[in-house]
């Protein structure tokens, strides 16, 4: 299906599932994964799961792990390429010490995230992959090393609610070339393509189906030309083939082994065949090439009745829903009949090109995927959780502030700096989420503000120990010197730096600065847009008083002497006075 | 082809086909933001079997511009 067709179909499914209980999925990522949301929704809504997929904030995995922990399912794309900006081209220039310290930092961040998510029912955590940026390197290098160490750590600390997703398999299926589009990566941090996400959604679907009690449970074979080559009634006991000694027989032997494997994993096997029952019984008990024997088969309907009735009886006998059945059949007539009468049953038709048969069956084996959850498992999980929790008391980050502190955040402040006019204007044009008034300004506007005496333009550059984020924050304040009143015209921060409490350090600086200018009061305003819900209570948090509330607009005031500096002592602040 | 372009826009931007006219742009449609813009471009590229350049992507901010850019692309080939 084309991407636009998926979106269209998803919109329709959303309407038809309205009112049904929602299954909330949050995707946390350090790249932009927005395209996955609707593809995954479609993939699950098609299976009658009213999935609602949302993205966390860009590159805020540790911060958001606490915020969104109430989701039914959390999916984590922690991309190796972006664990720090540009890792994939920086890693091999790093010293061993730098690599070790980075690995330690990320491990601690992972611990923190999984600890926050310990009560989330299910987490799909993509394993780190070095494939995309490293597949032509013959020698193992730092990228491989970091990848391997982080994956080893994941394997050790993952609680039973975490399923590690081997994303390399999805990349392989899609091909490396078709998995990424660097045009979007460089412009918007959109790493993966729609092709990749289609495959990713299909890959993880069985897990989510299982979590929603929609696992297939029974695999039912018609016998002739599904379990063996040939028609028992015509070719006879000695004429049917299912041995690796003939090329066609080999395919059926493999199919039988697949069924046996499924049975060992807890899947139920059944027969539904138009044949003489005693003939089929004889094959099952006596044929030397049979792999599936009586002890593996839970239910048999070998008779001359129609298959729809037989399948209904099987479901009744096993006391399970028809939607738990997978039926393998070769005849188009029977396939169409069952599909028409019992659309809940998954019907697989043996392909005409016989060599595709076992592949088709293998593809559908994932439908039987079960998240193992015995009582024993649950108990172990509880113990494990308690133990991990104790350990975490001593672990590196106990809370978000610990984590933020470890980043060595620093902001450099500029007041009325004319050299930043283009970037400042661009920030007002592009910033939507952390933007209190969403006023768009031209370069001319900004230049005027900077040069005028009635406005102050505050901007900051942010960096942490891994690199700089550039000029990413802005506050424009209008001054009324006669009344000693300041008014915040614009306050915004790029999404690259949100979730780090930088706004507190920024505001502490601004208030201090206004104090020195002799201001007594600050007025401010929040204007609601379709994107800026996340800052609707920012001024409350900064200690402002709400004085007026109209539709979509909140007005605030604060006496400067009442301002209590917000805790942000882990953020270094430098005031750059030159312009 | 105009209809095809409109259909893709409809499904990506969750709007009704009748709402799209010559003046429809990123400014006038609430659901059309920078993230959805990428989705829209991806969908159009797939639909018409073409690839836009970075510069084209940044400029295709209205129905009219999208339509003209696609026409140019298809004529080149």
Residue pLDDT, tens place only, A466-476: 888 899 999 99
Contacts of A481 (CB under 8 A, 6+ apart): A454, A517, A518
Domain with B7, as residue range(s), is 2-76
Question: Rounded to 5 degrees, what are φ and ψ at B62?
Answer: -145, 165
Tell me whether residues A32 and B33 touch, CB distance under 8 A: no
Strand ranges across the sheet with A572-576: A545-550, A553-559, A521-527, A485-493, A467-480, A455-464, A410-415, A572-576
As for how many domains chain B has, the answer is: 1
A317-336: pLDDT as tens digits: 988 899 999 999 999 999 99
pLDDT at A4 exceeding the cut of 90: yes
Indicate the helix (H) or strand (E) that contains A435: none
Q: Which residue of B has its CA nearest to A37?
A: B39
Per the CB < 8 A criterion, the answer to whether A220 and A270 are in contact is yes
Q: Is A218-368 a domain of CATH 3.40.190.10?
A: no
Question: Rounded to 5 degrees, what are φ and ψ at A348?
Answer: -110, 125
| Domain residue limits, chain A | 3-211, 218-368, 407-576
The whole-number average pLDDT for the span B60-73 is: 93
SS3 B21: coil
Least confident of A238-247, A275-284, A386-395, B21-30: A386-395
- Residue A4 has its nearest CB partner, among B47, B54, B58, at B47
CA of A519 to nearest chain B CA: how many angstroms apart? Answer: 37
Q: What is the pLDDT of residue A157?
A: 85
Indicate the helix (H) or strand (E) that contains A288: none
How far apart are alpha carbons A578 and A541 in whole angstroms? 32
Q: Which residue of A has its CA nearest to B4?
A: A4
The domain spanning residue B36 has which CATH number? 1.10.1200.10
Per the CB < 8 A criterion, the answer to whether B34 and A190 are in contact is no
For residue B7, which residues of chain A lie inside 8 Å, CB to CB? 4, 8
Tell me whether residues B33 and A531 touch, CB distance under 8 A: yes
Indicate the average pLDDT of chain A.
91
Tell me whether residues A4 and B35 touch, CB distance under 8 A: no
CATH superfamily of A3-211: SGNH hydrolase (3.40.50.1110)
- Residue B11 has its nearest CB partner, among A4, A183, A194, at A4
Q: What is the pLDDT of residue A496?
A: 86
Q: Which residues does residue A76 pair with via DSSP β-bridges, in sequence order?
A: A28, A125
- Residue A4 has its nearest CB partner, among B8, B33, B57, at B8
Residue A553 gets the label, from left (phi > 0), alpha (psi -120 to 50) or beta, of beta
Question: Rounded to 5 degrees, what are φ and ψ at A478?
Answer: -100, 135
For residue B8, which residues of chain A lie inside 8 Å, CB to CB? 4
pLDDT at A497 exceeding the cut of 70: yes
A187-206: pLDDT as tens digits: 889 999 999 999 999 999 99
Check for a shared fold between A3-211 and A218-368. Answer: yes
Q: Which two tokens stand for residue A490?
A: 């614009």
Q: Cβ-count burial of A252 within 10 angstroms (0-12 exposed, 13-18 middle, 19+ buried)?
A: buried
How far apart are alpha carbons A121 and A80 in whole angstroms? 25
pLDDT at A61 exceeding the cut of 90: yes
Q: Cβ-count burial of A495 within 10 angstroms (0-12 exposed, 13-18 middle, 19+ buried)?
A: buried
pLDDT tier, A511 (very low <50, low <70, confident <90, very high otherwise): very high
How far apart are alpha carbons A318 and A325 in whole angstroms? 11
A151-189: pLDDT as tens digits: 999 988 888 889 999 999 999 999 999 999 988 898 889
Q: What is the pLDDT of residue A536?
A: 94
How far apart are alpha carbons A76 and A123 in whole angstroms? 8
Torsion angle (degrees, nearest 10) of CA A504, A509, A514, A517: 170
CB burial string A29-68: b at 16+ within 10 A, e below: bbbbbbbbbbbbbbbbbeeebbbbbebbbbbbbbbbbebb
Choose which CATH entry (3.10.180.10, 3.40.30.10, 3.40.50.2300, 3.40.630.30) describes domain A407-576.
3.40.630.30
| Whether ipTM exceeds 0.85 | yes
For residue B35, which residues of chain A lie inside 8 Å, CB to CB? 32, 34, 188
For residue A432, which residues of chain B lie inside 8 Å, CB to CB? 33-34
Any chain B CB within 8 A of the CB of A12? no
pLDDT at A462 exceeding the cut of 90: yes
- Straight-line distance from the first to the last Cα atom of chain A, in angstroms, rounded to the nearest whole number: 55
CA of B61 to nearest chain A CA: how many angstroms apart? Answer: 14
Question: Rounded to 5 degrees, what are φ and ψ at A45?
Answer: -65, -35
Q: What is the pTM for the complete model shown?
A: 0.84
SS3 A71: coil
Encode A118-186 in three state secondary structure: CCCCEEEEECCCCHHHHCCCCCCCHHHHHHHHHHHHHHHHCCCCEEEECHHHHHHHHCHHHHECHHHHH
* Chain A to chain B Cβ contacts (< 8 Å): 51
Q: Cβ-count burial of B53 within 10 angstroms (0-12 exposed, 13-18 middle, 19+ buried)?
A: exposed
Q: Which residue of A has its CA nearest to B31?
A: A530
Q: What is the pLDDT of residue A495?
A: 86
């Amino acid at each position: 299906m084309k991407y636009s067709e998926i979106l269209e179909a998803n919109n329709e499914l959303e309407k038809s599932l309205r009112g049904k209980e929602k299954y909330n999925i949050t995707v946390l990522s350090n790249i932009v994964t927005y395209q996955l949301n609707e593809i995954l929704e479609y993939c699950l809504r098609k299976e009658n799961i009213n999935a609602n997929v949302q993205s966390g904030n860009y590159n805020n995995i540790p911060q958001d792990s606490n915020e969104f922990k109430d989701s039914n399912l959390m999916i984590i794309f922690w991309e190796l390429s972006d664990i720090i900006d540009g890792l994939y081209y920086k890693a091999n220039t790093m010293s061993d010490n730098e690599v070790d310290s980075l690995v330690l930092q990320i491990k601690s961040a992972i611990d923190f995230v999984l600890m926050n998510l310990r009560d989330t029912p299910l987490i799909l955590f993509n394993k780190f992959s070095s494939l995309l940026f490293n597949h032509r390197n013959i020698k193992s290098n730092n990228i491989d090393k970091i990848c391997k160490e982080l994956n080893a750590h994941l394997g050790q600390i993952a609680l039973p609610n975490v399923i590690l997703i081997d994303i390399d398999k999805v990349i392989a299926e899609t091909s490396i070339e078709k998995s990424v589009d660097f045009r979007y990566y460089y412009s918007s941090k959109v790493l993966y393509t729609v092709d990749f996400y289609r495959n990713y959604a299909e890959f993880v679907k069985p897990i989510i189906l299982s979590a929603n009690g929609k696992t297939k449970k029974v695999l039912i074979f018609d016998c002739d030309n599904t379990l063996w080559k040939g028609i028992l009634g015509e070719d006879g006991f000695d004429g049917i083939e299912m041995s690796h000694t003939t090329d066609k027989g080999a395919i059926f032997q493999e199919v039988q082994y697949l069924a046996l494997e499924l049975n060992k994993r807890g899947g139920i096997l059944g027969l539904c065949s138009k044949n003489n029952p005693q003939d089929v019984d004889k094959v099952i008990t006596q044929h030397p090439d049979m792999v599936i024997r009586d002890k593996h088969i839970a239910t048999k309907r070998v008779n001359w009745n129609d298959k729809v009735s037989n399948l209904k009886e099987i479901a009744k006998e096993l006391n399970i829903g028809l939607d738990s059945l997978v039926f393998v059949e070769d005849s188009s007539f029977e396939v169409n009949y069952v599909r028409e009468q019992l659309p809940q049953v998954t019907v697989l038709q043996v392909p005409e090109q016989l060599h595709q048969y076992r592949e088709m069956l293998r593809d559908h084996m994932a439908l039987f995927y079960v998240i193992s959850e015995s009582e024993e498992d649950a108990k172990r999980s509880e113990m494990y959780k308690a133990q991990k929790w104790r350990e975490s008391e001593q672990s590196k980050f106990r809370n978000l502030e610990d984590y933020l502190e470890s980043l060595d955040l620093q902001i450099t402040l500029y007041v009325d700096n004319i050299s930043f006019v283009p970037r400042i204007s661009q920030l007002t044009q592009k910033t939507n989420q952390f933007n209190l008034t969403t006023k768009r300004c031209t370069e001319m506007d900004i230049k005027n503000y900077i040069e005028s005496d009635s406005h102050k333009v505050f901007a900051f550059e942010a960096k942490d120990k891994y690199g700089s984020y550039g000029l990413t924050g802005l506050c424009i304040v209008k001054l009324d010197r006669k009344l000693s009143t300041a008014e915040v015209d614009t306050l915004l921060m790029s999404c690259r730096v949100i979730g780090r409490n930088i706004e507190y350090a920024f505001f502490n600086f601004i208030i201090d600065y206004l104090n020195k200018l002799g201001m007594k009061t600050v007025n401010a305003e929040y204007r609601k847009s379709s994107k800026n819900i996340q800052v609707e209570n920012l001024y409350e948090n900064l200690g402002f008083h709400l004085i007026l509330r109209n539709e979509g607009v909140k007005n605030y005031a604060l006496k400067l002497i009442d301002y209590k500096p917000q805790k942000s002592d882990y953020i270094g602040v430098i005031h750059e006075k030159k312009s | 082809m105009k209809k095809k372009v409109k259909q893709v826009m409809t499904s990506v931007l969750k709007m009704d086909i009748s709402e799209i006219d010559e003046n429809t742009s990123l400014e006038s449609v609430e659901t059309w933001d920078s993230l959805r813009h990428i989705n829209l471009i991806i969908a159009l590229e797939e639909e018409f079997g073409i690839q836009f350049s970075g510069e084209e992507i940044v400029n295709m901010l209205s129905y009219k511009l999208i339509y003209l850019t696609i026409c140019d692309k298809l004529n080149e080939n």
